[in-house]
Structure 1
Amino acid sequence: MWGLHHSGVVAHWVDLWNNENLAQDVFLGETRVPVKILRSDHIHKAWYLLQPKGTGSKSKSDDLGQLRLKLTYIEDTVLPSACYTPLCNLLLKSPDVKPISASAAHILGDIFRERYEAVLPMVRLLLYHNRFVPFVSAVAALELDNTQEANTIFRGNSLATRCIDDMMKIVGKSYLAVTLKPVIDEICESNKTCEIDPIKLKEGDNVEVNKENLQVYVQKVFSSITQSSSNCPPLMCDVFRSLRHLACKRFQGDPHVQYSAVSSFVFLRFFAVAVLSPHSFQLRSHHPDPEIARTLTLISKTIQTLGSWGSLSKKLSSFKESYMYDFYKSFQEEKCIEKVKKFLDEISSNVSKESSRQEDAVVLKEGEVQKRTQGKKNFSKRNFKKRWLRLTNRELSYHKRKGKEALCTISVKNIQAVEKLDESAFNRKNMFQVVLSEKPLYVQAGNCVEASEWLEILGQVSRCNEGRLTTYHPSNYATGAWQCCKNQSSNAPGCKPCTITMLANLQLDIDCDREAERIFSLLSSNESKLQNMEDACASMAVYQGPQREQEEYSKFTIQEPKETFRTLKQLRNIMEELRTQHNSRNTSTAQYGSIDNPIVGKTS
């Protein structure tokens, strides 16, 4: 194992460690590689001697050996944030572009469809600005339009699957840690033999004992997954819910597609992959030894099969290995399918996860507030009365006092919006409104912190309601008109966009400027493909006949050539401006560290 860390802007240190079946990693040697050499345009090839830790001398050490590495050094020159605003805005409006294939984000994915990592900076930007779900829903709908059979749904390496894979790796880290890490640690540390292939058995191994060990591990992993719905991040649930809805709409005659659309991601592309390579998901610090890796491979294959939707008996006939066939038959098919179905319902249906798992309502928040009595024409202080507000995963209710019966209950699924209310509405601070199909409920919290907490928790539980509004009135309706927009119709649509509910428990450490710079670098290094796509749009706009397969631009997804061409032109103009900004920075005589020539990256 070797490690690379940055030490200031002068050099990189390369450390070599040994972790083979030892109680702790053992340091073997280190060397120093100057950054100045790596910054040059040509490829640098050289041999470096390993030195004892902290030794700066160049004397040869006979007992430390030599290390050969192949490194790629990439330097990003990040401009001030304002320089990236046009590019970010163009990418962030992608979910609203019709058709989605004409959007800047889809074009980026289309240009780099063979480079899996190229989509990552775009995904990070969309996640940070809460625009990921509408974008991935649109590209998933486009993919489903081109999917002919339900049993092949989301099985390819498409833009939709790449985006969701990256999202799950970013958002699902803590979910994996809570769900899988304890059992993965047990598997790696207990060192029980689980080989069931007769050809790979070692002398003295008992295949029945190994099969029993493997079955215990599979059951633990399977149970951990199917009982983990309450820990599934809200953003992942939102994506799964959208995929489920789109799949049902596309294949209306298939009752199982609502499950296969979700299981193809959460089992095949998330949990099974994490079990197979726990070190890649920070579940283990290092790659497991060969025997443990083999055990994890067998568990991963089993989890994929148990989690993939469909008849288990039909799957068994497709296995080439007879030992795997016998092992899978040891699981009770109906019980496994029932558990998988329940789990998939909990993470992807419109029913609240808590209410689907337990009969009793779960109290999310309660406290004393001032509530405005409905139906009154005069807005005096007497119209506001002290009430005890109580929110569960099912309903919002208010009571005369804590512990008393509810004076009124409101179903959570009927909430259309939760927004702040202008102080001028009732000349009161810390007010918010719960917008319903009838009259809104006006509430005054005890202080600004309480108001923010109510807004956040109410927004979370109602964010996926089907009747959610896109606009609202920030003030009240009085004296025959809305006080905010002066519209005289009490049923008039809102005059202000609703707040986009940020997902709880999602903390993203993302540098948007650096991600935008990476996108710019990717596009700049592939301008020929952008030009080919422009030529394809121009050709299709003039000649609408079928395109020849051997032509370069037959690889692109172009539904509306004029709209796509317009987006490409915008991209080219933005890139030209960024290129000018970079050139001006390179020739700048401003002091390094000033606002005109800021320091790039972090130093230590």
Structure 2
Amino acid sequence: MSERVDLWNNGNLVQDIFLGEIKVPVKVLRNDSFQAWYLLQPRENGNKSSKTDDLGSLRLNICYTEDCVLPSEYYASLRNLLLKSPDVQPISASAGYILSEVCRDKYDAVLPLVRLLLHHHKLVPFVAAVAELDLKDTQEANTIFRGNSLATRCVDEMMKIVGKHYLKVTLKPVIDEICESPKPCEIDPIKLKEGDNVEINMENLRYYVDKVFREIVRSSISCPTLMCDVFYSLRHLAAKRFPNDPHVQYSAVSSFVFLRFFAVAVVSPHTFHLRPHHPDAQTSRTLTLISKAIQTLGSWGSLTKSKLSSFKETFMCEFFKTFQEEKFTESVKKFLDDVSSTESKEPSGLSEPVHLKEGEMYKRAQGRTRIGKKNFKKRWFCLTSREFTYHKQQDKEPIFTIPIKNILAVEKLDESSFNKKNMFQVLHGEKPLYIQANNCVEASEWIEALCRVTRCNQKRLNFYHPSAFLNGNWLCCKATIENTVGCARCTADVPADTQIEIDGDREAERIYSLFTINMPKLQKLEEACGSIAVYQGPRKEPDDYSNFTIEDSVATFHTLKQIIDIVEKLNESHEKYRKKRSSSAKYGSEENPIVGKVS
């Protein structure tokens, strides 16, 4: 068995260039750390290698980690301590925060911590708590969530994990168009080539930016609920920290969803699985310009004369003068409102449902199989956080009620079905409810409201029939079975809360390993807390603990004591398991596999 290492050059966003490859037997990686020089080899072509050339050499420094995941009950104490992190006061005294403090690279700590908290539905309160701590040190509203703190890294990892499908349905079609049918978009006079027309290039760039921007601001319905919950918390924490700044509640959200999510995915689509490979140099430059534009458009309130004058590149300043229209800032504001709103959720503690929308429209009698004008009746519709109802008249008892949790899809209906415009359908497990709005704007508003309030429903449909079932067949696909699967993909084809495969025990084992590796730091931090708690002031050299955040020495000391005790017990369990495996398990079995043989 061996591992293959390919070396590519993709620096400075240029086209990927293959430099060479090597194969390293796994058996040499059994040590904790392995260092060696290898001559690069040409790429294999089936069983034949390319012509051998001097491709240079590569020095590898590989760290090999083997995790031994014990049965779930062994991690109960560690898991419970970590899951209590959001409730610890102050948050800096929690096990989750201490993990990030003692790890040299926060990424090592953040990924397993986020996955574990996400798996047990504790991520949102933890992010809110560490974000509040982050905001205490933020003095200027325009620098909010711009650093690489624990809060920002947690949100970044959360968006990567839960936002994959969201990026795919929002950006992939337009990214594919840009990469597969590229148009020249260079507008920097210094980088223009002979024969380039800057006006045409600017028009091309404007077309792409408009298209990407439009796809983003109309994508709120597809935004995963977990992301919306996090954005809601960040928005309100920011408004609380800077109560006199009306824009900070928007910049707190846009700094993540635009700057750290969409803009990054645009400039590096291959790293987000939107494209199979790094694009060529010209396309990369186009994507970079689009990404810059999206960042600026997404910064709420940034399209002002004072802001335009702050652009480093004069050519970008000129380009953005074409975006100084109120419709862009209003679109951003509406999008940020949608993705950071709890309108679709019933606030806890309220006994009555939240009223969302009502109005008069026409409905077709359910179950009718033939076309007839008398089948359409004017009714009063009402949407709340619990149910969707219609009534003969306003303030009358409902004739028909659909619980929100039972709605499977909300889609437009082809006007050819009944020769009527502005129609949509609500699918709820029985006969489809066909509704005609008074105009196209009203129809869009109802569809958006119904989709938003039902986006978390776990049984949403992936496919639907865009036309009605009349005279014994579906008008769209001519299928004669009424309950046959739809012939068109739904607008939002998966629930917002897409299930994510996470092994909680695997993540707990990883965190245990990190605590074990960083035991000297844990002990040093424990000593620092003890010194502060006993003497009410530092009695050691400041360098011993000056890099640690210690808000409450007693609470932090208490958590550290628990962590160290838990790690020591897990050490004993691992040692017993190793001895048992080596003495009783047959060599080559699942419990004691063969390691280090080269195929």
Superposition TM-score, scaled by structure 2 size: 0.71
Alignment of 1:167-182 (within 5 A): 167-182=158-173
Q: Counterpart in 1 of 2:558? A: 566
**How far, CA to CA, are the matches of 2:541 and 2:153 in structure 1?**
25
Distance 1:341 1:351, change over 3 A: same
Q: Counterpart in 2 of 1:141? A: 132
**How far, CA to CA, are the matches of 1:531 and 1:134 in structure 2?**
28
- Check the 8 A contact 1:395/1:411 in 2, yes or no: yes
Tell me, yes or no, if structure 1 residue 90 matches structure 2 residue 81.
yes
The equivalent position to 1:77 in structure 2, one of 67, 79, 82, is 67
Tell me, yes or no, if structure 1 residue 183 matches structure 2 residue 174.
yes
Tell me how far 1:587 sits from its aligned partner. 3.1
**How far, CA to CA, are the matches of 2:563 and 2:355 in structure 1?**
46
Tell me, yes or no, if structure 1 residue 40 matches structure 2 residue 34.
no
Tell me how far 1:398 sits from its aligned partner. 7.6
Alignment of 1:413-432 (within 5 A): none
Q: Counterpart in 1 of 2:439? A: none
Distance 1:175 1:599, change over 3 A: farther
Alignment of 1:212-361 (within 5 A): 212-313=203-304, 314-352=306-344
CA deviation map 1:500-536 (0-9, x unaligned): xxx9532112222222222122222222221221122
Tell me, yes or no, if structure 1 residue 155 matches structure 2 residue 149.
no
- Check the 8 A contact 1:193/1:213 in 2, yes or no: yes
- Check the 8 A contact 1:154/1:261 in 2, yes or no: yes
Tell me, yes or no, if structure 1 residue 590 matches structure 2 residue 580.
no
Distance 1:332 1:571, change over 3 A: same
Tell me how far 1:586 sits from its aligned partner. 3.2
- Check the 8 A contact 1:76/1:517 in 2, yes or no: no
Query: What secondary structure, in the 3-state scheme, does the structure 2 residue paired with 1:310 have?
Result: coil
CA deviation map 1:362-417 (0-9, x unaligned): 9xxxx9xxxxxxxxxxxxxxxxxxxxxx995644268999xx961698998xx9xx
Q: Counterpart in 1 of 2:532? A: 540
- Check the 8 A contact 2:254/2:300 in 1, yes or no: yes
**How far, CA to CA, are the matches of 2:145 and 2:96 in structure 1?**
19
**How far, CA to CA, are the matches of 1:533 and 1:509 in structure 2?**
35
Tell me how far 1:38 sits from its aligned partner. 1.8
- Check the 8 A contact 1:175/1:233 in 2, yes or no: yes
More displaced, 530-539 or 105-114?
A: 105-114
Q: Counterpart in 2 of 1:120? A: 111
Tell me how far 1:597 sits from its aligned partner. 3.8
Distance 1:75 1:351, change over 3 A: same
- Check the 8 A contact 1:121/1:515 in 2, yes or no: yes
**How far, CA to CA, are the matches of 2:137 and 2:9 in structure 1?**
50
Distance 1:195 1:574, change over 3 A: same
More displaced, 247-256 or 174-183?
A: 247-256
CA deviation map 1:80-114 (0-9, x unaligned): 23222221111111111122111100111222364
CA deviation map 1:415-462 (0-9, x unaligned): 9xxxxxxxxxxxxxxxxxxxxxxxxxxxxx99xxxxxxxxxx999589
- Check the 8 A contact 1:50/1:64 in 2, yes or no: no
More displaced, 311-320 or 566-575?
A: 311-320
Tell me how far 1:255 sits from its aligned partner. 1.6
- Check the 8 A contact 1:121/1:519 in 2, yes or no: yes
Q: Counterpart in 1 of 2:101? A: 110
**How far, CA to CA, are the matches of 1:319 and 1:259 in structure 2?**
21
- Check the 8 A contact 1:251/1:257 in 2, yes or no: yes
More displaced, 545-554 or 106-115?
A: 545-554
Query: What secondary structure, in the 3-state scheme, does the structure 2 residue paired with 1:70 have?
Result: strand
CA-based RMSD of the aligned residues comes to 4.1
**How far, CA to CA, are the matches of 2:388 and 2:320 in structure 1?**
49
More displaced, 35-44 or 210-219?
A: 35-44
Distance 1:118 1:49, change over 3 A: same
Query: What secondary structure, in the 3-state scheme, does the structure 2 residue paired with 1:12 have?
Result: strand
Q: Counterpart in 1 of 2:425? A: none
Distance 1:71 1:224, change over 3 A: farther
Tell me how far 1:543 sits from its aligned partner. 3.4
CA deviation map 1:234-255 (0-9, x unaligned): 0000111111122222222222
Query: What secondary structure, in the 3-state scheme, does the structure 2 residue paired with 1:44 have?
Result: strand
Q: Counterpart in 1 of 2:547? A: 555
Q: Counterpart in 1 of 2:509? A: 517
- Check the 8 A contact 1:593/1:599 in 2, yes or no: yes
The equivalent position to 1:506 in structure 2, one of 498, 508, 533, is 498
- Check the 8 A contact 1:15/1:30 in 2, yes or no: yes
Distance 1:544 1:175, change over 3 A: same
Amino acid at match of 1:216: Y
Q: Counterpart in 2 of 1:526? A: 518
Q: Counterpart in 2 of 1:208? A: 199
**How far, CA to CA, are the matches of 2:562 and 2:589 in structure 1?**
28
Superposition TM-score, scaled by structure 1 size: 0.70
Amino acid at match of 1:255: P
- Check the 8 A contact 2:389/2:398 in 1, yes or no: yes
In structure 2, stretches of 5+ residues that fail to align are: 11-15, 346-353, 367-380, 406-428, 431-452, 459-494
**How far, CA to CA, are the matches of 1:598 and 1:511 in structure 2?**
21
Amino acid at match of 2:239: C
In structure 1, stretches of 5+ residues that fail to align are: 1-9, 20-24, 368-389, 416-444, 447-456, 463-502
Query: What secondary structure, in the 3-state scheme, does the structure 2 residue paired with 1:196 have?
Result: coil
- Check the 8 A contact 2:21/2:40 in 1, yes or no: no
- Check the 8 A contact 2:36/2:61 in 1, yes or no: no
**How far, CA to CA, are the matches of 1:91 and 1:593 in structure 2?**
36
- Check the 8 A contact 2:217/2:332 in 1, yes or no: yes
Q: How many residues align?
A: 480
Query: What secondary structure, in the 3-state scheme, does the structure 1 residue paired with 2:546 have?
Result: helix
Amino acid at match of 1:220: K
Alignment of 1:452-491 (within 5 A): 460=456
**How far, CA to CA, are the matches of 1:459 and 1:13 in structure 2?**
43
**How far, CA to CA, are the matches of 1:194 and 1:161 in structure 2?**
32
CA deviation map 1:443-482 (0-9, x unaligned): xx99xxxxxxxxxx999589xxxxxxxxxxxxxxxxxxxx
Q: Counterpart in 2 of 1:487? A: none
Tell me, yes or no, if structure 1 residue 130 matches structure 2 residue 121.
yes
**How far, CA to CA, are the matches of 1:595 and 1:65 in structure 2?**
41
Distance 1:53 1:513, change over 3 A: farther
- Check the 8 A contact 1:196/1:210 in 2, yes or no: yes
**How far, CA to CA, are the matches of 2:278 and 2:83 in structure 1?**
37
Tell me how far 1:360 sits from its aligned partner. 6.8
- Check the 8 A contact 2:35/2:59 in 1, yes or no: no
**How far, CA to CA, are the matches of 2:544 and 2:93 in structure 1?**
18
Query: What secondary structure, in the 3-state scheme, does the structure 1 residue paired with 2:24 have?
Result: strand
Q: Counterpart in 2 of 1:576? A: 568
- Check the 8 A contact 2:44/2:50 in 1, yes or no: no
Tell me how far 1:280 sits from its aligned partner. 1.1
